[in-house]
């Protein structure tokens, strides 16, 4: 599939409504004319009900793309829209719809898990009256097996627990667009499987899930569509079946072919299989 096509996903019938839109999104750092864009003319939509996998080698521009889509950094040119709201011209309306888990979440370590969740609820103006807020917080902490840590300071949490409290907070206001940048880092296999189940459930209720990951097995098994970014440009876009030619090749093989990783694999093979100088011949004593 051509990388700039933007079909719907998630198996929805009819014309899916795009929740996440990138239109000519470009980011340059520095003013030198010769500087290569970190993200170069990205056109992409993700529909409600879709889990979208965003792949690329280190430095390809994945995190920069997510930061532009969530309004954390401005694009040099182009537009990012969430639920139809331009992230630059209507930022509050757009950000109300967003949940975001960065690769290294910033957490207030002196707050307890419960205090952090309530702070997040305040930021998203979830009402204090009634039991809805408390019930929602309790249910999410129970889901991620953090209920017993509700009164413990976050500074004492393990890496995996910190990742889970960030996930719980991002889901608190039921976002329509959920962005995750390497969310499996620090999670054990059980928590990783739970995360996948949660993302499927979030998409099933109509949200768009945008997932950046290096774990190609998760991308192949979880995502409705996958985009591959290489040196800031989208070089492939399609379902895992389309990108693997119906199983004729693995997603890893497709990824390596498109990003130049096969040459690195050949270099390793030459190194390990003896392409260097011949060892000295043994001599008779």
Per-residue pLDDT reduced to its tens digit, 74-133: 999 999 999 999 999 999 999 999 999 998 888 999 999 999 999 999 999 988 777 889
Question: How large is the average pLDDT for residues 172-186?
Answer: 94
SS3 99: strand
Question: CA-CA distance, 157 to 103, in Å (whole number)?
Answer: 17
Residues of the domain holding 136 = 103-174
Contact criterion met (CB below 8 Å) for 208 and 35: no
pLDDT over threshold 90, residue 275: no
Residues 6+ apart with CB under 8 A from 85: 93, 94, 97
Q: Give the pairing of strands 233-238 and 85-86.
A: unpaired
DSSP symbol at 149: G
Question: CA-CA distance, 24 to 42, in Å (whole number)?
Answer: 5
User: Are 17 and 142 contained in the same domain?
Assistant: no
User: Are 22 and 92 contained in the same domain?
Assistant: yes
**Residue 76 Cα to chain centre, angstroms:** 22
Residue 51 pairs with which residues in a beta bridge? Answer: 209
Does residue 47 fall inside a structural domain? yes
SS (H, E, C) 4-17: CCCCCCCCCCCCCC
| Maximum Cα interatomic distance, the chain, rounded to a whole number of Å | 91
CA quadruple 66, 1, 6, 10: dihedral sign: negative
User: Are 130 and 108 contained in the same domain?
Assistant: yes
Contact criterion met (CB below 8 Å) for 6 and 45: yes
Question: CA-CA distance, 137 to 74, in Å (whole number)?
Answer: 32
SS3 230: strand
Of the candidates 174, 191, 225, which is a domain's last residue? 174
Distances (CA, A) of 96 to 71, 83, 121, 209, 221: 11, 10, 12, 15, 30
pLDDT over threshold 80, residue 281: no
Q: What is the pLDDT at residue 248?
A: 86
Q: Please, is 23 exposed, middle or buried when counting C-beta atoms within 10 Å of its C-beta (0-12, 13-18, 19+)?
A: middle
Closest CA to 44 of 11, 59, 63, 66: 66
Closest CA to 99 of 2, 188, 202: 202
User: Are 13 and 132 contained in the same domain?
Assistant: no
pLDDT class of 280 with cuts at 50, 70, 90: low
pLDDT digits (tens, 9 = 90+) for 199-258: 999 999 999 999 999 999 999 999 999 999 999 999 999 999 999 988 788 999 999 999
pLDDT over threshold 60, residue 142: yes
User: Are 16 and 32 contained in the same domain?
Assistant: yes
pLDDT class of 186 with cuts at 50, 70, 90: confident
CATH number at residue 191: 3.40.50.300
pLDDT digits (tens, 9 = 90+) for 8-56: 444 444 567 799 999 999 999 987 777 789 999 999 999 999 999 999 9
Contact criterion met (CB below 8 Å) for 262 and 31: no
Whole-model pTM?
Answer: 0.86
Residue 62: phi, psi to the nearest 5? -65, -50
pLDDT over threshold 90, residue 283: no
pLDDT class of 2 with cuts at 50, 70, 90: very low
Does residue 129 fall inside a structural domain? yes
| C-alpha torsion angle, residues 159, 57, 200, 127 (rounded to 10) | 60
User: Are 70 and 199 contained in the same domain?
Assistant: yes
Question: CA-CA distance, 158 to 2, in Å (whole number)?
Answer: 42
Q: What is the pLDDT at residue 193?
A: 95
Residue 134: phi, psi to the nearest 5? -60, -40
Does residue 162 fall inside a structural domain? yes
Q: What is the pLDDT at residue 270?
A: 59
């Amino acid at each position: 599939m051509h990388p700039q096509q933007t079909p719907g996903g998630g198996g929805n019938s009819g014309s899916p409504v795009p929740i996440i839109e990138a239109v000519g999104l470009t980011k340059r750092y520095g003013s030198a004319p010769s500087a290569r864009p970190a993200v170069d003319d990205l056109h992409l939509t993700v529909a409600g009900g879709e889990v979208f996998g965003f792949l690329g080698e280190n430095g390809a521009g994945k995190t920069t793309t997510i930061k532009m889509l969530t309004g954390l950094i401005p694009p040099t040119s182009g537009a990012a829209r969430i639920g139809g709201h331009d992230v630059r011209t209507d930022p509050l309306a757009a950000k109300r719809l967003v949940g975001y888990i960065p690769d290294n979440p910033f957490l207030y370590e002196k707050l307890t898990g419960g205090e952090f969740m309530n702070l997040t609820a305040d930021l998203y103006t979830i009402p204090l009256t009634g039991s809805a807020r408390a019930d929602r917080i309790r249910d999410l902490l129970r889901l991620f097996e953090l209920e017993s840590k509700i009164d413990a300071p976050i500074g004492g949490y393990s890496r995996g627990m910190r990742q889970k409290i960030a996930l719980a907070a991002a889901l608190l206001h039921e976002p329509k667009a959920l962005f995750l940048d390497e969310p499996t880092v620090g999670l054990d296999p059980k928590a990783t499987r739970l995360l996948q189940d949660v993302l499927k459930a979030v998409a099933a209720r109509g949200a768009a899930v945008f997932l950046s990951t290096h774990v190609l097995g998760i991308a192949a098994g979880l995502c409705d569509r996958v985009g591959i970014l290489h040196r800031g440009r989208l070089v492939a876009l399609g379902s895992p079946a389309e990108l693997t030619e119906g199983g004729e090749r693995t997603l890893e093989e497709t990824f390596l072919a498109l990003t130049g990783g096969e040459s690195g694999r050949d270099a390793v093979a030459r190194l390990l299989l003896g392409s260097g100088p011949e060892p000295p011949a043994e001599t008779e004593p």
